[in-house]
Structure 1
Amino acid sequence: MKKVHLVILSLVAVFLVAGCSSNEKAGGNTKEVEIQSDKALKVNWKKVTPIIEKDTGLNIKLIDTADITAYTTNIKQSLSSNTPPDVFTWWTGTQLADLVENDLVADITDEWPDLVKLGISDDLKEAMTFDGKIYGAPLNVIYNGVIYNKAIYDELGLSEPTTLDEFMDNCQKIKDAGITPIGIGGTWQSFVWPMVLMGSLDPELYDQWTSGEVGFDDARVKKVFYYWAEMIEKGYFSEQQQDQGKDLAMKEVAMALNANNWSQGLVEDYGMTLGKDVDIFVLPGVKKEDKKTIFYEISPFVISKKGDKEQALNVIKSYYSKDAQKEFAKKTGGSAITDIEIDNVITNKMLEVAGDSENYTLKLRYYEQFTPEIVNQSIDEYWKIAANPTEKQVDDSLKTIQESWVKVK
């Protein structure tokens, strides 16, 4: 009988221990915070993680997934399970709205003022706010511009363009010199040039388009895509690149539309000096006096509804410390807080113009504006246009996207 009692007591003890372990993870007593990301945090946080761990007394478990499709699938599945990550990186716009609508992420509205006091811009909350509540905190803010090889520009006597026509003239002169004017990366990058061209040709149309006020098959939208198709037909774009940085550094291409912090890779991988070997400008409008449009993206941290909110916020707050931000900026060329000196002249240049509201306007980039299904479908259709830059292909592709958009918007 004693043996039976001992066995029962042993089993109870096992279940109690297991239960305590599980509750610790769910209830906030764990010493570990799991962060999943598609932003290579194991590399970019190599010197940040020790600062946060020392500051908070927590252990940080980083899980990186490079493939965006796999990452998106993994996060959505884990959020529906009982073991989601405490924190994960995501996107703003419809992608975040989808998680909010399904009650999968934590509301941090009450904690937002504390984050602003640590140095993040209060203006950023708009991109992460739904129904008056805030659901994200920035990992960093990224501004897109035309990054160009200065040696090519200098050799050909070119200057940063002040109008769209001047930009096109530069493209033609570069092509005439036997150099591909613009490099374009593979996978998702098919949308970037239609986006920035609309920002230059008709910025108000961009707002109407992304809000659903006008469709993909609207005549004005088609006009922008015809403009892009004509540029492709003239040979202004490369084939899909495997390594944009290498092609730009080796003068295979003269320009690439990319994020300001992408420039950091040109320094680390190819020894380029920012401001001397490579620089950046915002694609100009039709007229010199037109406001230039800067497309930005926020990579937000999001806290799982089932995760440990208190500990997750402690990690995020520690990340906004000056010491952590300086290390992140050294590695990536970007930061989340505004009151910090960054050793990256391209990022500093974009921060300066982004704050010039008289001459520049900020717009959230295309990728975050539509539902994931429409974004993915449109990326595929835009590559069809890139491969066959005719007005018929433009019409067919935009019609296909519009038919899908009508069903989901």
Structure 2
Amino acid sequence: MIEVYKKIIEEYEKQNDKVKIELITDYGDETKIKNDISKGEVDLIGLKRQQIIDFAKAGMLTDLTQFFIEKELDKKVYEVSIGYGLYNDKIYGFNDMPLTIEFFYNVDTFKKYSLKEPTTLNELLDICKKLKARGVTPMEVGALDNWTLAILFSQINAQTTGSIEATSKYNSDKNGYLTLKGIDQSFEIFQKLNTSALSKGSIDINYRKSVDDFIKGKVAILPAGAWATKLIDEIKPSNFNYSVFTEPVKFIDEPISMFAGAGGQTIAVPQKQKC
């Protein structure tokens, strides 16, 4: 990603010969980030979603809502990109590289057992039941890396609760999250998948092992972010055929959103920027 930014900067400077941009890449220390934002040392900064919320609440980021409206960026940028910079109905930035959360599946296994891509929860559970009956593990996540469970849960919660509701309870205690609209339904669906679809061994393996089991044909379905494509392609056998469900699985009748996404960093403007 650094090389991409270097290229963007290079092209921008060619068109604006009086502008010189310095790319800083050593922002792993959150204390340094806070200090530089407070001092106005940076004009644009890439932040994690959690930091966007924390810094926006602290009044350290510029509200870009009006800018997005005037430039019609709210119509041109992917909604998931804006969602990463959204807090309390205000836009504080946009995600530079949003990636969707998908269900990868073994194409040959589906063909072998005459299975079609599911479009609803019941269809997905029915497929898992048929796979189990044939001795095939339906689905696996590397739960030792607990973010893999969050990936699966996010697909459900995007439909039942939505990101705006979830963000409103950020840093709440347990009771605060329990009041979220649709959260009970999220856990009920998650429990159904845990009981009927997920490999019982998921808790004992990490993300890399779950991908390895998938490309070896041990598991039919892999819930993962779009970034898994890179690892799958690097380690899969030449004859391994895979795809993703063309349409998101509909877990409830009236989803708030049909798509779940993840992203690395969100570009924001510090309140005390100098330019």
Corresponding residue number in structure 2 for 1:153: 110
Inter-partner Cα distance in structure 1 for 2:262 and 2:23:
25
2:178 corresponds to 1:216: yes
2:142 corresponds to 1:182: no
Shift of 1:51: 3.0
Among candidates 259, 272, 279, match of residue 225 of structure 2: 259
Shift of 1:162: 2.6
Q: Percent identity?
A: 17
Shift of 1:117: 9.1
Change (3 A) 1:75 1:174: farther
Inter-partner Cα distance in structure 1 for 2:244 and 2:64:
37
Among candidates 129, 143, 163, match of residue 120 of structure 2: 163
Corresponding residue number in structure 2 for 1:63: 25
Among candidates 215, 221, 244, match of residue 249 of structure 1: 215
Inter-partner Cα distance in structure 2 for 1:162 and 1:233:
18
Q: Is the 8 A contact 1:194 1:228 kept in 2?
A: no
User: Where does the alignment leave 5 or more consecutive residues of structure 2 unmatched?
Assistant: 170-174
Q: CA offsets, 1:292-332, max 9 Å, x none?
A: 73223464211223444x4xxxxxxxxxxxxxxxxxxxxxx
Q: What is the 5 A alignment of 1:38-57? A: 41-45=1-5, 47-57=7-17
Q: Is the 8 A contact 2:40 2:270 kept in 1?
A: no
Q: Is the 8 A contact 2:104 2:223 kept in 1?
A: yes
Corresponding residue number in structure 1 for 2:172: none
Change (3 A) 1:256 1:111: same
Inter-partner Cα distance in structure 1 for 2:249 and 2:95:
25
Shift of 1:285: 2.8
Inter-partner Cα distance in structure 1 for 2:80 and 2:154:
23
Shift of 1:150: 1.5
Q: CA offsets, 1:65-113, max 9 Å, x none?
A: 7xxxx56565345434x47544332244x64232012122233344323
Question: Number of matched residues?
Answer: 256
Q: Is the 8 A contact 1:90 1:96 kept in 2?
A: yes
Corresponding residue number in structure 2 for 1:79: 37
Q: Please identify, of 253-262 and 158-167, the stretch whose mean Cα deviation from structure 2 is larger.
A: 253-262
Q: Is the 8 A contact 2:65 2:92 kept in 1?
A: yes
| Equivalent position amino acid for 1:280 in 2 | F
Q: Which has the higher contact order (CA 8 A, sep 6+)?
A: 2
Q: Is the 8 A contact 1:136 1:301 kept in 2?
A: yes
Change (3 A) 1:52 1:259: farther
RMSD, aligned α-carbons: 4.2
Change (3 A) 1:209 1:111: closer
Shift of 1:148: 1.7
Change (3 A) 1:45 1:126: closer
Bigger share in helix: 1
Shift of 1:211: 4.9
Bigger share in strand: 1
Among candidates 280, 287, 294, match of residue 245 of structure 2: 280
Give the TM-score normalised by the residue count of structure 1. Answer: 0.49
Determine which structure has more spread, i.e. the larger CA radius of gyration.
1
| Equivalent position amino acid for 1:227 in 2 | K
Inter-partner Cα distance in structure 2 for 1:169 and 1:236:
21
Shift of 1:147: 1.8
Q: CA offsets, 1:196-226, max 9 Å, x none?
A: 34556xx259976665597438865653454
Shift of 1:160: 0.4
Change (3 A) 1:272 1:86: farther
Shift of 1:192: 2.8
Corresponding residue number in structure 2 for 1:325: none
Q: Is the 8 A contact 1:209 1:216 kept in 2?
A: no
Q: CA offsets, 1:180-200, max 9 Å, x none?
A: 332324142222333434556
Q: Is the 8 A contact 2:137 2:219 kept in 1?
A: yes
